[in-house]
Structure 1
Amino acid sequence: MNFNSHADTVVANAVAMVNVLTPGERRGKRYPLPSPAELIDALAKEISDGQRFEESELDDLAGVARELRVVFEAIAAGDVDTAAEQVNTILEETRPRPHLSRHDGEPWHVHFHGEAGGVAADRGGPSATGLAVVLGSELYDRLGVCTAPHCDRVYVDSSRNGTRRFCSTACQNRVKTAAFRARSQS
């Protein structure tokens, strides 16, 4: 039985925000931030609740994504303390409060929206709460940053054995192909 599927969704949405809204590298290539229209489309596609954001909200969302990225990078570096401190900082900033909600034909479930309102609190509060649940469990090491060369996208490992190291199958295949080619040339 899974009692925290909403928390799983919130953490997956945090991953999506970090991967869409922070520049860096993706699948072996530089990842500059796309245009505002492309960001809005990518967020609508990647965030599971399908919310459409306004261009005026993108800077606030990007700020939340940068704060969340710190958590994933700290865990990938083995620094749980920094990750927990960062989550606590976001929780303090957003002051999420739990309330039961029922919408879109779903049963009652807990939401954690920030006290201050606005898109940063409404996305940062739930994300930090979901990450707090993960960090407060023995599964905190399921958060990670892709280990493929030239990729810094984040992920949550939901595999049975907890051995995921890549953000996507594309990155995994890139690494395997490079290793095969290196062996073939030896």
Structure 2
Amino acid sequence: MTGQLMFDSHVSTLLDVSVALVNALTDGEERGRAYAAPRGAALPAAVDAALPPAGAGPRAIDPASAEYLAGAARQMRQVFEAVAAGRVDAAAGVLNTLLRSTGARPQLDQVPGEPWQLHFHGTDDSLAVGWSAGCATMLALAIGSELAGRLGVCAATRCDRVFVDGSRNAVRQFCSTACQSRTKAAAFRARRGGGA
């Protein structure tokens, strides 16, 4: 692949939402510390924060929808981890399960003043199923193309947050500049300590 990686805005949004849901709603490690995903009464607000803004103020996300999206996020984490480990077949299997469970189906939609866009709705078009279907579809499109290697898990010690690499040369290894800086500082300290 040559040149800058370009996703259209809808694809980019859904990939960004996939990353945000996985990073916000799954346990693990973040920037060198243990990360416990929100649960119970805190889960709906965490889901709302992970989704793009929808008008003024927070959305009213019911607990069942929040739990559904948290379950989808756990499946999407498996996809990122499998791709990062070179197990694309396993990632495809998880995505196929998620696509079937959401009933993802293509549909052309148009927002006033915008061109037609291909959206993937779920069988019931609820907030939870709709976002899960769209995110699963975009991850499937990435895996089913030369873009599979663009899905990543942070390479920093004690961080397992995910990302989509949009860099020109597909060399991104970290979820954030903070993790990249932390890793470089640790390597510098190791070299300095070993050379004394």
TM over 0.5: yes
Corresponding residue SS for 2:29: strand
Which deviates the most, 172-181 or 50-59?
A: 50-59
In 2, the alpha carbon distance for the partners of 1:49 and 1:108 equals 21
Residue of structure 1 aligned with 2:22, choices 18, 24, 38: 18
Corresponding residue SS for 2:14: helix
1:64 offset after TM fit, Å?
A: 0.7
In 2, the alpha carbon distance for the partners of 1:16 and 1:144 equals 13
Distance 1:138 1:41, change over 3 A: same
Corresponding residue SS for 2:121: strand
1:54 aligns to what?
Answer: 61
Q: Please report the RMSD computed on the Cα atoms of aligned residues, expressed in angstroms.
A: 2.2
Residues 38-57 of structure 1 show CA distances to partners (whole Å, capped at 9, x for unaligned) of: 55455444433547351412
Residues 122-147 of structure 1 show CA distances to partners (whole Å, capped at 9, x for unaligned) of: 12111111011101111201101111
In 2, the alpha carbon distance for the partners of 1:112 and 1:93 equals 13
Structure 2 gaps of 5+ residues are none
Distance 1:4 1:172, change over 3 A: same
In 2, the alpha carbon distance for the partners of 1:43 and 1:104 equals 27
1:68 aligns to what?
Answer: 76
Aligned residues: 186
1:160 aligns to what?
Answer: 168
Q: Which structure has the larger Rg?
A: 2
1:33 aligns to what?
Answer: 37
CA contact (8 A) 1:75 1:144 kept: yes
Structure 1 gaps of 5+ residues are none
Which deviates the most, 2-11 or 20-29?
A: 2-11
1:33 offset after TM fit, Å?
A: 1.8
Q: Percent identity?
A: 49
Which deviates the most, 33-42 or 13-22?
A: 33-42
Letter matched to residue 34 of structure 1: P
In 1, the alpha carbon distance for the partners of 2:76 and 2:102 equals 13
In 2, the alpha carbon distance for the partners of 1:180 and 1:53 equals 47
In 2, the alpha carbon distance for the partners of 1:75 and 1:9 equals 20
CA contact (8 A) 1:64 1:123 kept: no
Distance 1:107 1:45, change over 3 A: farther
Indicate yes or no: 2:9 matched with 1:5.
yes
Corresponding residue SS for 1:148: coil
Give the TM-score of the pair, scaled to structure 1. 0.89
1:181 aligns to what?
Answer: 189
2:121 aligns to what?
Answer: 113
In 1, the alpha carbon distance for the partners of 2:187 and 2:162 equals 22
In 1, the alpha carbon distance for the partners of 2:48 and 2:60 equals 8
CA contact (8 A) 1:13 1:47 kept: yes
Give the TM-score of the pair, scaled to structure 2. 0.85
In 1, the alpha carbon distance for the partners of 2:7 and 2:159 equals 33
Corresponding residue SS for 1:99: strand
